[in-house]
Amino acid sequence: MARILIVEDNALNIKLFCDLLAAHGHEPEAVTDSRNALDAARAFDPDLVITDIQLPHVSGLDLIRLIRKDEELAKVPIMAVTAYSARGDEERIRAAGAQAYVSKPISVMKFAQTVDELLQDGAEKDAPEIDNPESQANQVNDGPGPDEAGGEEA
Ligand code: MN
């Protein structure tokens, strides 16, 4: 069981992520307003942070940078979730300090797999994963194509 902080402004996504994580035996906690995310993270002491990128007030990219600079939180793995996967997005997200990237609409299987991997590896093993072409986190679907997600939807 892991403590997982979710930073997401969309209520439906919060419910989806919380339900998924709880179903896998984790303890999720959600923050809607990214201005409160850093304080919430310090208080909750999460094993993993999952953050939306398109957030009002403090963007997901800025939040990732703030977490990486925070003494207490610097080593917490971060998974970014974003609806827009323009070219270069993944590089920007990883450069900010996130270990993994999942595009919306999420594949439930990929979401759960990525959470498991990050909980196992932590933030310290990020360098080898970035360069590993077989890392599933590197597989970005540019469009709403059915390829990977299609077969996994119940
Ligand atoms: Mn959003």
pLDDT tens track for 49-98: 999 999 999 999 999 999 999 999 999 999 999 987 778 889 999 999 99
Which phi-psi region, left, alpha or beta, contains residue 131 (left: φ > 0; alpha: ψ -120 to 50)?
Answer: alpha
Q: How confident is the model at residue 125 (pLDDT cuts 50, 70, 90)?
A: low
Contact 39, 5 (CB under 8 A): no
Neighbours of ion ligand 1 (CB under 5 A): 9, 52, 54
Instruction: Kindly give the distance from the C-alpha atom of residue 9 to the centroid of ligand 1, in angstroms, as a whole number.
Output: 5
Number of helical H runs and strand E runs in the chain? 7, 5
What pLDDT score was predicted for residue 121? 84
Is the pLDDT at 124 greater than 80, yes or no? no
DSSP for 76-140 reads S-EEEEES---TTHHHHHHHHT-SEEEESSPPHHHHHHHHHHHHHH-STTHHHHHH-TT-GGG--
| Stretch 33-57: mean pLDDT | 97
What pLDDT score was predicted for residue 87? 82
Domain-located, residue 147: no
Q: How many folded domains does the chain comprise?
A: 1
Domain-located, residue 151: no
CATH of the domain at 47: 3.40.50.2300
Domain-located, residue 153: no
Q: Which domain holds residue 42?
A: 3-138
Q: Which two tokens stand for residue 64?
A: 């990732």
pTM of the model: 0.79
Instruction: Kindly give the distance from the C-alpha atom of residue 36 to the centroid of ligand 1, in angstroms, as a whole number.
Output: 15
Instruction: Kindly give the distance from the C-alpha atom of residue 105 to the centroid of ligand 1, in angstroms, as a whole number.
Output: 12
